[in-house]
Amino acid sequence: MGVVYNGRMRQFVILDAKGITTWKRDFVANRIQRALMYPKYEYRLMTYIVYARKYNCYFALGKIFL
């Protein structure tokens, strides 16, 4: 659903239907880590992700189920 690149930490942040995955590429090993996982009954809570380089943080647009 979305991919952003963090230049400071040299990692990709991947937004999918089940949560957020980080992928850090280096010469030793490829590191893949699940940073956020949604509950089993909820999918696609976050729909869009943006990385703000100036503040070194992420902003995400999400859904609220009432």
From first to last of its 66 residues, the chain has per-residue pLDDT tens of 789 998 888 889 998 888 889 998 876 777 888 988 888 777 777 888 899 988 888 888 877 766
The pTM for the full model equals 0.74
Domain tally for the chain?
A: 1
> Residue 24's domain spans which residues?
2-62
Nearest partner of 13 among 28, 29, 31, 38, judged by Cα: 31
Report the pLDDT value the prediction gives residue 26, as an integer from 0 to 100.
Answer: 78
CB 4 within 8 A of CB 21: no
